[in-house]
């Protein structure tokens, strides 16, 4: 089992260690950060986050049994007028935590925050089309593919396509029951 708690400066070092290649940086953060990840970039990332009225809530994923930091996730672009937000920067960084259903637990908890605490109607995310385990996790949580953004991001000599996915409040409630 896991718990989400707000991301804090004490977590920076571990996240920087996990994001250890330009490829992983792009998969984790899109073009929002520049490799290598630095404490300064993370300070800026946190600057206006995690207050009651913030448009971003950034979390560390903690293993309840060991109290170890094992991952990261954010709920950002919170739009209270349209009751929508975007999940991003999803990572299970601890290699020992992979393949144990942690992603499903992360999705359950972040969606509960989105729909219960923030009273949202729609939550979206983007995932590169080659990330099959993540796509399976998101579909298992109730997300539907809404469209493929072909050749959305250039990495080296390649172009990566991105699935846009979303879940609506009533779909989540049905899934949660």
The separation between CA 70 and the C-alpha centre of its own chain, rounded to angstroms, equals: 13
**Which residues of the chain carry a pLDDT beneath 50?**
none
Q: What is the CA radius of gyration of the chain?
A: 16
Per-residue confidence (pLDDT) for residue 176, from 0 to 100: 87
Per-residue confidence (pLDDT) for residue 177, from 0 to 100: 86
**d(Cα 71, Cα 78) in Å, to the nearest integer?**
21
**d(Cα 6, Cα 49) in Å, to the nearest integer?**
9
Share of the chain above pLDDT 70, in %: 100
Assigned token pair, 110: 């972040």
| Region of 76 on the Ramachandran plot (φ > 0 left; ψ -120 to 50 alpha; else beta) | beta
**d(Cα 72, Cα 5) in Å, to the nearest integer?**
10
Query: 123 CB contacts (<8 Å, ≥6 apart)?
Result: 75, 84, 85, 86, 87, 111, 114, 115, 166, 167, 172
């Amino acid at each position: 089992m896991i718990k989400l708690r707000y991301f804090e400066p004490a977590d920076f070092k571990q996240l920087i260690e996990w994001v250890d290649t330009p490829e992983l940086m792009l998969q984790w953060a899109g073009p929002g950060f520049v490799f290598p990840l630095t404490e300064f970039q993370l300070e800026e990332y946190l600057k206006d986050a995690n207050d009651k009225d913030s448009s971003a809530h950034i979390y560390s994923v903690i293993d309840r049994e060991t109290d170890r930091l094992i991952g990261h996730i954010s709920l950002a672009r919170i739009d209270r007028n349209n009751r929508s937000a975007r999940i991003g920067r999803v990572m299970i960084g601890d290699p020992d935590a992979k393949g144990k259903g942690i992603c499903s637990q992360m999705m359950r908890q972040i969606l509960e925050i989105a729909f219960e605490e923030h009273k949202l109607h729609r939550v979206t995310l983007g995932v590169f089309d080659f990330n099959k385990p993540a796509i399976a996790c998101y579909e298992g949580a109730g997300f539907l593919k809404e469209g493929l953004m072909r050749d959305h991001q250039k990495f080296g000599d390649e172009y990566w396509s991105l699935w846009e996915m979303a879940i609506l409040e009533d779909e989540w409630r049905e899934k949660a029951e």
